Every structure is written in structure tokens, then in C-alpha cells.
A and B are shown apart, each in its own frame.
Chain A
Amino acid sequence: MTVSADKPHLSREHMLDLLKQMIRIRRFEDKCAELYTQEKIRGFMHLYDGEEAIAVGVIPVLEKRDRIVATYREHGQALVRGVPMTKVMAEMYGKQEGCSHGRGGSMHLFDRTVNFHGGNAIVGGGLPLSVGLALADHIRRNDIVTTCFFGEGAVAEGEFHESLNLSALWGLPVLFVCENNLYAMGTALALSESETDIQRKAACYRIASETVDGMDVVAVEAAARRAVHAVRESGKPYFLECRTYRLRAHSMFDAQLYRDKAEIESWRTKEPIIRFQAWLQSNGMIHLEDVPRIEAEVDAEIAEAVAFAEAGTWEPVEQLTRFTYAESATPADR
């Protein structure tokens, strides 16, 4: 584990919170996978297994007023940001009590109350949006940072380059967080990029950048603190590449023909939860009973979320076309 000069408070309480958030995402998604096989959850579902340290390292560093733009692999971001697990699970079910009224599902979690501007399922599609959110805050002199999560697959899209250029050209407060898990669906980074050192692309646009071990939650948090501080102080964009690995399939339909089991196993040994737990134990920062206690708390929360989703209701078909357009002035229109 990295212990750098920029490291955040290494208090036991904070460390346990980081651990709990990662366990929370992992176990929530394990439950989702189980519910998927039971056909409670349908459609495309993309799990974050192995990448949890990124959302957990970055998002708590943000202020409540800051904004988040996420991808279709965004359960972790939503949970850490404070979208209630009950509402996330209800959304997975497609129930109207879900955080997007059941209309988005796994790939489109939204929550205005925590400035969570959605899971965008067009690779690269969220980047221009984050530039625009930051443009509005820049024009209005709002002290707000927009954090945009995307995978390394998005780097091949034109929207990535347009967005980096615009944000740097206009000096906009965007934190770009690239979750580099080495595979764009089934295509390895080396097969899709002529330059695989991604943060160098940010440098081309004169955007300050940093690469961090995305499976080391303390390192991610430390880097995120530097990054968010830089964006807030300068009003300019910052690029944080988090190197990680997706331990599960791309989605529930993926037979993983494009990579060896041995490769996956080798990454398993680096996965963020076990690693962090071992590090905490070796430093005497957690007690033997801490992990079972955290797991029990998380399991209780998950059970509550499942019960909430099960008890949820289907939006009446009569409401199918509601909110294609605004009906009257709502908070969304101000």
C-alpha cells in the first residue's frame, strides 16, 4: 500500500470506512449477479468487481455540491455518492421506486439530490456532458468540480478528444477519471490504441495528469485529493488515470473468450479489498472482528434493499409516455 506525503487521514475510522464502502459495492453486486440469474434483474448489467477502489477513493473527496457523470458500470459510483441502496436496487428491478423511476435500469442511475448526472451507456458520451456542466459552473463562477468517470475504451472515441480539448481550451473545472481496466468489452488496450500510455493523451491537451494504481484505495484517494484540489484551485481540468482490472465478465452475456483464466487469476491477487484488508491487518489498524461486523452490516443493508425492490411497484403502463417532455415546471427545469 502506498503511503505518500499526500496521504489522507489514516485514522482507523476512515480506513474502516474505505473498507466498508468497497465491501458494500462488492457484496451488493454479488447479490445483483445472483438476482440476475433469478431473472429479477434483466438487460445489460456490468459489474465493478476489482475496480471498487476507484469510486471509493475518488468520490468521498468531493463536496456535496460537486457533480458526477458516470458510465453504464456505475453501481459503485452511485452507492458511494449516497444514492440509497434501496433506490439503486429498485432501479435494477425496474420498479418505479428506483432512483430513475425504474426507467433506466442498471446502466442509467440518476439522482438529482446528490448531483449524480447519470450513467451514460454510450461509450464516451458522458464526456461532453461533463464539459457542459463545468462550463455552466465556470460561467456562473460556481465553486463546483465535475468529475467524469469513463473507461479506457472511451479514449478511442472522438468525443474523448473533443472534450479534453474543450475543457483545456476554455479552462473548465472537470476531473477526468479514466478507469483503465485494460479491456474495452473484449478488445485489449494494445489492440485498440497506438499509444497505450493513456495519460500522455491528456498531456497533449496540456491537461495536468497522473497515473495511479487503481487497485490501491489509499493511493487513489491521495491522488484524488491532489486532483480535486488542483481543479478547485485552478478552475482547470485534471486527468487521473486509474489502472485497474475487471475481474468479472464485461456484462452478464460475456463468455470471456478474449482472455485467459490465468490472467484473471493473477489479477485476483491484486484485488483491492483483500489487499487493503491485509495491509490494515499488518499495520494493526483493524481488529479481527471488524470485517465480519462490516460484512454483517452490509448484508443487512442489502437485505433491506432487496426487500425494498421486491416490494416496489411497476409504473402503470398509462404513464409510459410521461416525461418524454416536461409537463410543468419541475426542479429539473430550473
Chain B
Amino acid sequence: MQQQRVQSEAIETTYREAVREAIRDAIKRDERVFLMGEDVGRYGGCYAVSKGLLAELGPERIRDTPLSESGFTGAGIGAAMAGMRPIVELMTVNFSLLALDQIVNTAATVRHMSGNQFGVPLVIRMATGAGRQLAAQHSHSLEGWYAHIPGIKVLAPATLEDARGMLWSALQDPDPVLIFENVMLYNMIGTLAADAGPVDIDKAAIRRPGRDISLITYGGSLWKTLDAANALAAEGIEAEVIDLRSLRPLDDATIMTSVNKTRRAVIVDEGWRSGSLAAEVAMRIVEQAFWSLDAPIGRVCSEEVPVPYPSHLENAAIPQVPKILAAAKAAFGAP
């Protein structure tokens, strides 16, 4: 008699569809969950993530809002405080700045400031990143800013599994969780187990094991970093690629285990260099693994300009494979 578990069928899907399936699944599984944001219903979502969900789930669960980021984000906070599990969608991280007061002054503070009497089990999703020639008010990567704030958690799903699985785990979290979806990933095609489900949201993942250098990244830069790692392998350098997944809290243990092994580290971060998440990761390595290092820590970040419109300038502004390669080789003394 065959006891072996039948392997789940793998389906071909996209990052966008994986996020959509995560939303649909969460709303069907938990009557407290609803999606709220600008154009999430009739329009189908700015990036078509929620296309079709209004017809399927109805206007109470897929709630179109006016252009009132602070108002509806605050409404999500209040609803969460009163027992619901809202998913608030902000079109892009740039627009989230209009809701910064509610996120930073209320969502992040209430549990501590009230002496643990009130919590905010809210999930806020938003698009981040450059690459679609949307210029300087739709293309920035400010997730590192949010990772500065105690009281919230910050996730960056880079894979189909995480796009599908992080939302449910975030909804189970008693505290506010921000999920950053890189705009260049929505069209990414891949295979996903038909029964793919929740994933952990507090651990980094080794996406490519290696012994010579740790390339630490997250979100849209993961795939460029993996491409760079493959190019390095052709030159005999085996890079270990770490996908941070959670930007707050950071999984120091996975980072340090890797760096203690490889003795070299380069951080790839689409945020600007000054005051970046990359700076935080680098400093933690200095604090916790300094004596293991054989080379200065490298960083590949965005250039310190507002992201420009023309494709060649936009590409030059954000991390790309050649820059990652150069930074990695520099850790081996290359000029």
C-alpha cells in the first residue's frame, strides 16, 4: 500500500495572481478580512492585483475608497482595533506618505502607548520600486524607512511562494504588518504548488547556497542578485544569496551564519544609500561578525537622485547586475 504523500500539483502562475489568490483565500477563510483601497474594486487594482475580486466577493469585502490615504488607512487601523482584519492597499509607497501619520503615529504606537490594551492587527500592502518609467513620484523604494519604525513589521515578498504565503501569516500577526510588492515582480511567471499556503514571516531565506561571498538582498533586487551570482559562478566564485524577506525584524542569525562562513558580504538594496537599510545590515555585520570579515562590506544601492523617467537613466539609477558583479569582485580585491 502506497503511504507516500501525493506531491501537490504545480501550477504555472504569476506573482500578481499569487497575491490575488492570497487575498481571495484570506477573505474566504476569515470573515473579519476585507480589502480596502483606491481602485481595488471596479478598476481591479492599479496593478490589476484584485481584478475580478469585487464580482466574486462583493463590495463589503472589496471596498473601493476615495483618494484619502490617511483617512482609509486610519479607518483600517480603527477597524483592526475593533476586531476586524483589514487589508489596506496603498497604490504605491510614494502615496503611502500621505498616510504616514496614521502608520507611524497611530498604528505603530498604540500597543505600547496604551500599555498593551489595544493592538492593531492590520495589513497594509503597497507597490514599491522602479523600472516602469513612472518617474520620481511613483518609483521610489522607501521600505527601508518603514523598517526604521518600532511597532510595525515590514515584509518584502520576492518569490511566488512568498507572494502567496506571506499575506495570511501577516493577517495572523497581532501587530501592523506592511507588505511591499516590487512592481517589476507582478508579471513574473513561475510555478507554485497548487496547495501553496502560509509561510513564516520572520526568517531570511538562502536562495542560493555558496561558500565565497554573501550577497544580501530582498524584493525586486533578488533576481538581479541571483543573475549576478550565476555570472560569478562562471568565474569560479560561489556566492550565497540571502533573501531578507522580513526587513523588520531582520533575521540577524541567518545573515551572520552566512557571513561567518563566506567572510565577505555585499548588500543589494534598491533604497538610496544614505541612511539605507543596507547601511543597517552592514552595521549589524560589523557589530556581530567583524572578526570574520576578510574584506570591506560592499553596498549596491540606488543613486542619490529622484528616479528619472527615461529608461536609460532609470536603469542607471537602481541596482543592476553589472554593479552587483563589480561590488562582489571588489570584495576579492578586484580593481
Contact = CB atoms under 8 A, between A and B. Distances in A.
Interface of A: 67, 96, 98-104, 108, 110-112, 117-118, 120, 122, 125, 127-137, 139-140, 158-159, 162-163, 165-166, 169, 321-326, 329-334
A329 B174 contact: yes
Contacts of A127: 71, 74
B110 A118 contact: yes
B117 A125 contact: no
B120 to A, nearest CB: 9
A204 to B, nearest CB: 14
Interface string B90-129: 0000000000011001100011111111110100000000
B82 interface: yes
Contacts of B84: 135-136, 139-140
A333 B74 contact: no
Given A111-B117, A112-B118, A136-B79, A165 B66 contact: yes
B115 A110 contact: yes
Nearest to B80: A132
Nearest to B63: A170
Given A140-B84, A163-B75, 11 more contacts: A122-B106, A129-B78, A130-B78, A132-B74, A136-B81, A136-B82, A163-B74, A324-B111, A325-B151, A330-B119, A332-B174
Interface string B201-232: 00000000000000000000000000000000
B116 A128 contact: no
Given A136-B78, A159-B101, A166 B117 contact: no
Contacts of B60: 139
Most B CB contacts (10 A, CB to CB) among A96, A137, A139, A334 go to A139
A326 B119 contact: yes
The 5 closest A-B pairs by CB, nearest first: A132-B78, A128-B74, A101-B115, A162-B71, A136-B82
B173 to A, nearest CB: 8
Contacts of A333: 119, 121, 174
Contacts of B77: 128-129, 132
11 contacts: A103-B114, A104-B114, A110-B115, A118-B114, A125-B101, A127-B71, A129-B75, A135-B79, A136-B81, A329-B174, A333-B121
Contacts of A104: 113-115
A136 to B, nearest CB: 4
Contact of B114 (A108, A125, A158): A108
B34 interface: yes
Contacts of B110: 118
A323 B112 contact: yes
A131 B101 contact: no
B159 interface: no
Contacts of B83: 136, 140, 334
Contact of B105 (A122, A133, A326): A122
A96 B119 CA distance: 19
Contact of B113 (A108, A128, A136, A322): A108
A132 B75 contact: yes
B92 to A, nearest CB: 18
B105 A117 contact: no
A32 to B, nearest CB: 20
Given A166-B68, A325-B175, A100 B113 contact: yes
A102 B76 CA distance: 27
Contact of A132 (B76, B121, B174): B76
Given A139-B60, A325-B111, A326-B111, A125 B74 contact: yes
Given A108-B113, A110-B118, A128 B66 contact: no
B80 A332 contact: no
Interface in B282-318: none
Contacts of A125: 74, 101-102, 105-106
Nearest to B153: A325
Contacts of A111: 117
Contacts of A139: 34, 60, 79, 84
Nearest to B151: A324
A112 B202 CA distance: 30
Interface in B151-177: 151, 153, 174-175
Contacts of B117: 100, 110-112, 331-332
B251 to A, nearest CB: 15
Contact of A323 (B72, B78, B115): B115
Most B CB contacts (10 A, CB to CB) among A102, A130, A326, A334 go to A326
B73 interface: yes
Contacts of B13: none
Nearest to B83: A136
A128 B105 CA distance: 12
Given A324-B150, A326-B111, A128 B75 contact: yes
Contacts of A321: 150
